[in-house]
Chain A
């Protein structure tokens, strides 16, 4: 599903450049649930942003679902993001003047799905994250966990090939975190490929594979036995 070869990325900080990713080789199969771990500054978020085409790579190659991702202009990148990827952010990034349902329906708008169908689908995905009756509420009327579940529903609504989550539990307390992880596990059980960036070991243990990043290189890549979140909920 994801194939990365010899990936380099550096940022210009004034006159010096900061070499963040120093040759990453990495692949993900369909249906995997991968945790990308590392301390802050290890380059894990950068890796995820590049995977999500929110940022561009300097060197190396990236193939997503058999499509080489390179030399993208913003229009093309937007198309690919819309078609392939769903995002979940640490800070939710819901649009604050839109109701939960409208937020979930937004990616479908950019897929040129009709209004009625958008709403039906949005309600279906809200149902899946257990927020059907909160459909008409604004993000400001929702708790952090609810917001993240709306964000997950939004990411899923476009039916992406890969779900990318950047610290999805970073802004949540542990109980809520486990609820969100339970949801993510269920989505993965349904066959979706998911990548999670986290620095919390308990969250990483709920994935099926952990990739450790340190100073821009992968230091460890291991498959683990998944801890089910449902036992904590």
Chain B
């Protein structure tokens, strides 16, 4: 296919029809440029929003149980399922390497809490030290629970800033003071705050072991909490989280002889819901940018086709002359397509390289909210260039073929 004579002929034509070449080239190059920048910005916006969400979205998983609703292995429906310490430990040993934070959870509601003459009713929750991370709590004074407290079944309590305000009015330093929880003395070791605000601060935390013993909990647990080690990308984390949740469910159903299809005996939540909503949002953004992008391509295809048709029209007389001089139809079509493909390819690649270069240079330095590191899949960009080239070639082919096959006398008559 490499015909040096034809290349020379085409370069002659290109050199001597600079305006035509430049117009074709610019329209192709700018189409590609716009598309690449557009798609890259879509990607950048997605990245930016993903980042905003990742900062908040703790990948939290919670597990709790209710009564069974299905008969299974001879057991009646309506049987209550109780989480126990050994379930928590089994999950730790089974899935420990995927977990970042973990905590069992034993809750006693409406516990009367007394400090001197002040009294209030709060929820007392037995947890492990890592619960602080799961709930995104910060320490204002003193310290949080530690494993020593848990091992020693220490009667220590972490109170909230809100409780400090309500119960320990005017107390300068509450650390070391004693609270009565249901009449039992607990020493205050710390004051926590919660980013969730007051609503989240109606709780006192004591070691899980202490909670179970003091409030007659045996080895019962109300809930299990976990967070996942984050993976490289959000999608991976989400996928992992879904899988882990299912695995935990499966394990608990087996351990408690619950029908695998039981919809409500073992329940889980994870922040997947939020993640899903976020994914819908980014999906929407992605769709929008692709839609605009495809419209741009269509406009580009129409533009290139238009130019090709005009070029062929403009050259009809020349085609007639060439035919009178002995050019075969194939030579004519070949010449026009060769030129069209060459010009659109070079221009398309130029637009591609220019826009990619711009993204490479400007992208990482961009300081706009919700836009982070705009980039584009190189394959997508390249196939767009190919699409434009093919469209241009097709659009040029039909008029060129027509012009090449009509009798030269008609082509020569064309003004």
Binding site for B on A (CB under 8 A): 49, 52, 54-56, 74-75, 78-79, 81-83, 87, 89, 93-95, 97-98, 102, 106-107, 109-112, 114-115, 154, 158
Contacts and interface: CB of A to CB of B under 8 A. Distances in A.
B323 A78 contact: yes
Interface string B287-320: 0000000000000000000000000000001101
Interface in B363-415: 404-405, 407-409, 412
A158 B409 contact: no
A79 B405 CA distance: 14
A110 B317 contact: no
Interface string B314-334: 000110111111111111000
A79 B407 contact: no
B325 A106 contact: yes
18 contacts: A54-B409, A55-B407, A74-B323, A74-B404, A78-B331, A79-B326, A79-B328, A81-B324, A81-B326, A82-B325, A87-B324, A95-B321, A98-B16, A106-B325, A109-B5, A110-B327, A110-B328, A112-B5
Contacts of A112: 5
B407 A81 contact: no
B152 interface: no
A89 B413 CA distance: 11
A115 B7 CA distance: 12
A61 B23 CA distance: 49
A75 B330 contact: yes
A81 B325 contact: yes
Q: Which of A55, A78, A106, A115 has the most CB of B within 10 A?
A: A78
Contacts of B407: 54-56, 74
Residue in B9, B324, B330, B331 whose Cβ sees the most chain A Cβ within 10 Å? B324
Contacts of B13: 97
A110 B325 contact: yes
B8 interface: yes
A110 B329 contact: no
Contacts of A55: 407, 409
B409 A109 contact: no
A78 B409 contact: no
Q: How large is the interface on B (under 10, 10 to 19, 20 to 34, 35 or more residues)?
A: 20 to 34
Of the candidates B8, B13, B325, B328, the one having the most CB atoms from chain A within 10 angstroms of its own CB is B325
B412 A89 contact: yes
A168 to B, nearest CB: 14
B233 interface: no
B12 interface: yes
A93 B324 CA distance: 10
B323 to A, nearest CB: 6
A212 B16 CA distance: 44
Given A54-B412, A95-B318, A115-B8, A74 B405 contact: yes
A125 to B, nearest CB: 14
B5 A78 contact: no
A70 B40 CA distance: 61
B17 interface: yes
A112 B3 CA distance: 11
Nearest to A87: B324
A98 B408 contact: no
A87 to B, nearest CB: 5
A97 B331 CA distance: 19
A98 B412 CA distance: 18
Contacts of A98: 12, 16
Task: Count chain A CB atoms within 10 A of each CB in B13, B328, B331 and give the residue with the most.
Answer: B328
A102 B325 CA distance: 13
A78 B326 contact: yes
Contacts of A158: 325-326
Contact of A93 (B8, B317, B405): B317
Nearest to A80: B326
Contacts of A107: 325-326
A82 B16 contact: no
A97 B408 contact: no
Interface string B1-23: 00001001100110011000000
Given A54-B407, A89-B412, A109 B318 contact: no
Given A89-B412, A93-B317, A115-B5, A83 B326 contact: yes
B9 A109 contact: yes
A49 B328 CA distance: 18
Contacts of B328: 74-75, 78-79, 110
